[in-house]
Amino acid sequence: MKTKPHPGAGVEIWDVDLRRVDDATFAAIRALFVEHGLVFFRDQELREEDHIAFAARFGAINVNRFFPRHPEHPEIAVVSKRPEQRINVGGGWHTDHSYDTEPALGSILVARELPRRGGDTWFVSMYDAFERLPERVKERLRRMRAVHSAKHIFGSRTTRIRRFLGAGELAHNPELADALDDVIHPVVIKHPLSGREALYINPSFTLRFAGRSIVTSLPLLAYLYLHATRPAKVARFTWRPGSVALWDNRATWHYARNDYPGEARVMHRVTIAGCALRGSAPN
């Protein structure tokens, strides 16, 4: 398998057809996923069925309860921005599903319609962000937990969702109410697959540290967010027709750039179910 490091973070695989992955090749892709948390593929010709089948090799599919679903393939969340829309989905640093009690293992995004230019997705590694912290900060964070929520983004009492997707598509989702419970995760997890320590907070869904208010949590959160997104550490992935990105939601953040006004961008995302997360410090 031909691979090369992607600038900033992750790895690109060049010579694999994701429609036909034998067991040995899949094991090699999975090993790269566990090691880097971020794997990019080019020149793929995935039909929706192929996309779902590839994702299902990693685990059960977690159908996103907020996003519009593909009409024939409900496993696929459609992440789209129409030319007249101003706000995009995912236009801030986040990791998918941290608001769940069992956050998603990973996501696989396939480009379906791209703007002429722009619309990149940026990624950062949370292994790297944690490793680069001063030892005394690491020690402190290992003992902390944080509260995550989706209600300020997807909850029925916010209008943001309507502005994201227009036409109230998500507001009709009867499962929205499920989003309203806050969940608590360790700030530093022992990654379930790699066993490595990763920082597990994110600017979109983390509200505060457990036992602290939003206001008193803010200075440390802001420090960590700036630290994690240092420009030299950002992998800027430029989509082309046939591009596919596979990322680890427990070890990376991503950010969909919104720099293509007046143009459409349509992506298909399949999200893979995860498990409850354990902290890296012994209980």
What residue ranges bind ligand SIN (CB under 6 A)? 79, 90, 96, 107, 109, 121, 254, 256, 267, 269
Torsional sign, CA 209, 165, 229, 254:
positive
Whether 254 is a known active-site residue: answer: yes
Report the nearest approach of ligand SIN to the CB of residue 269 (Å): 5
Cβ-based nearer residue to ligand SIN, 176 or 245: 245
Q: Which is nearer to ligand SIN, 148 or 269 (CB)?
A: 269
259 noted as active-site residue:
no
User: In terms of CB distance, is 127 or 164 closer to ligand SIN?
Assistant: 164
Q: What string of DSSP letters covers 194-214?
A: T--EEE---TTTEEEETTS-H
**Is 94 annotated in the active site?**
yes
> Please, which residues bridge with residue 133 across strands?
none
- The number of helix segments (H) and strand segments (E) in the chain equals 7, 15
Which residue's CB is nearer to ligand SIN, number 109 or number 141? 109
At closest approach, how far in Å is the CB of 246 from ligand SIN? 12
Distance of alpha carbon 25 from its chain centroid, rounded?
A: 24
Q: Are 30 and 4 in contact (CB under 8 A)?
A: no
SS3 26: helix
Joined tokens for residue 142? 């290992």
Catalytic hit among 6, 36, 51, 94: 94
Beta carbon nearer to ligand SIN, 217 or 271: 271
State the Cα–Cα distance between residues 26 and 37, nearest whole angstrom: 15
Of 36, 65, 191, 254, which is the active-site residue?
Answer: 254
**Catalytic residue among 96, 100, 128, 248, which?**
96
Least distance (Å) between residue 254 CB and ligand SIN? 6
CB of 107 to ligand SIN, least distance (A): 6
Q: How far is the CB of 171 from ligand SIN (least distance, A)?
A: 19
| One-letter amino acid of 114 | L
66 vs 127, beta carbon nearer ligand SIN? 66
- Strand arrangement of the beta sheet that strand 235-237 belongs to: 235-237, 121-125, 252-256
Return d(Cα 98, Cα 101) in angstroms, integer: 8
- To the query of whether residue 6 is one of the catalytic residues in this protein, the response is no
Phi, psi at 177, each rounded to 5°: -60, -25
Both structure tokens of 22: 């034998």
CB of 238 to ligand SIN, least distance (A): 11
**Residue of minimal CB distance from ligand SIN?**
90
By annotation, the residues acting in catalysis are 94, 96, 254, 269
